[in-house]
A and B are shown apart, each in its own frame.
Chain A
Amino acid sequence: MNLLKTDHIQRATNVAQRLFEEQMLVITPKDSMLHKFNAVGTFIWQFLERSHSVEEIVQGVQKHFDTNDEEAVSQDVITFIEKLCEKGLVSLKSE
């Protein structure tokens, strides 16, 4: 999939999750598998409590982790969001 910076991302509603020692535990609905996100993944997941565009997520990560490397952050965010999409944890929100 090719995500655009203007694409809006929303979390799936039937996802079990819990913040565990500052890291997010998430269970994928398709296969009931447990996943643990790192600090950036945890931030993005919590940021997506409300739907945001890819661009807004990138800006949010830059601000939160105090980094100016937009290209690297952008690539990491897109890779992460694509994985979340594959696992049914998020989807593209139609405008």
Chain B
Amino acid sequence: MDTLAQSINREASQKNIPLSVFIELTRRCNCTCYYCYQQSLQQTKELSLEQWQQVFSQLKSAGALYLTLSGGEPFVREDIFDLLKEAKKQNFAVSLISNGLLISEVVAKQLKDFTVMDVGISFHAAERDLHDRLSGMPGCFDQAKKAVTWLRQEGIKVVLKHSVSTENFGQFKALQRLATQLDCAFECDCTVLPDTPGTASNYSLTVDQYKEFLTYMGQDSAGCSVDDDQAALHCDAGRSLCGIGPNGTLYPCIILPVPLGNVTESSFMSLWEGDLANSFRKNEKSLSKECTLCALKVHCSRCHAVALLEGHSWQGKSHSLCARANALQQIGKQKK
């Protein structure tokens, strides 16, 4: 049965209400994580506090409730608390995603005064040396753990976030235990975006690794009904969710580089209801036949962004997601 959040999200998706907005405040970061696709992107002009205040106001009018503030590293922005103050004034539910390096005991205490629902802290590994090497920052692991502890002391929900790849494969088990020890939630994903367009990331898992990971996490389906063809390849991008980059470019999803315009040049609503956004929504009905006729469709964790970054079109197929669907099918067969 649907939870209330799922049912609201479905209604928002049907009515194109942008309930969840993912904002990259900056591309600047104090880490150089091994897989980060942002490192291959140019630094870009960032919207000022005043510009974000206007955007937040427009998002509120459009019906947005959930605001994820990320980067880069969001805490490198000196006005991060002014941005949180504005988000609180506009009654947003805020999630922050951070590497934890700039979250001191004082910062954790300050965060309690805002409408912050949770703070996601990235962990590449449960081993200090491996995490520090993969984040390119000595001392990162210890500081991230301290940040988690301070946030929890203030009663702030923390999500330990982990991207599973070939470089840190297997760490998810120890990280799940660490999350329990630190009294925080655990979220991990095995989607790795390529930093070179046109090819799957070198860090994408093999079919066997997908099988091991998905079995351990108790995931034996992509979450769609076997007889629901429509839902199998659908994504809420551009419907109940969207993303805005540091310079104000609006995307259907923050990782899907299909620009819908810039919020500094036109109002959010005129872009959201504009030709580019409507055309994107319409085009979801014409995905590649390789996908729509694929026998593994019901096992597919379809992501238009991964398809675009690994290939040439967001309507095309993705090699890494095909491998994942293959793994899910094999897990299903073994269970039978």
User: In chain A between 20 and 39, which residues have their CB closer than 8 angstroms to a CB of chain B?
Assistant: 20-21, 25, 27, 29, 32, 34-36
**Interface digits, B46-73 against A, CB 8 Å rule (1 contact, 0 not)?**
0000000000000010011100000000
List B contacts of A14 (CB < 8 A): 88, 113-115
Task: Give bound CA distance, A16 to B118, whole Å.
Answer: 13
Beta-carbon nearest neighbor of B64 in chain A:
A18
Task: Give bound CA distance, A36 to B113, whole Å.
Answer: 24
Q: How far is the CB of B262 from chain A (nearest CB, A)?
A: 24
Q: How far is the CB of A85 from chain B (nearest CB, A)?
A: 19
User: In chain B between 1 and 35, which residues have their CB closer than 8 angstroms to a CB of chain A?
Assistant: 4-5, 8, 11-12, 15, 17, 19
**B65–A18 CB distance below 8 A:** yes
Q: How far is the CB of B117 from chain A (nearest CB, A)?
A: 4
Q: How far is the CB of A87 from chain B (nearest CB, A)?
A: 14
- B4's contact among A16, A18, A19, A35, by CB below 8 Å, is which? A35
- Asked whether any CB of chain A lies closer than 8 Å to the CB of B224, the reply is no
Size bracket of the B interface: 20 to 34
**A16–B115 CB distance below 8 A:** yes
User: Which residues does B use to contact A, with CB under 8 Å?
Assistant: 4-5, 8, 11-12, 15, 17, 19, 60, 63-65, 88, 91-94, 113-115, 117-118, 157
Query: 26 pairs across A/B with beta carbons < 8 Å?
Result: A14-B115, A15-B91, A16-B65, A16-B91, A16-B115, A16-B117, A17-B91, A18-B60, A18-B63, A18-B91, A19-B63, A20-B11, A20-B12, A20-B63, A21-B11, A21-B15, A25-B8, A27-B115, A27-B117, A29-B115, A32-B117, A32-B118, A34-B5, A35-B4, A36-B4, A36-B8
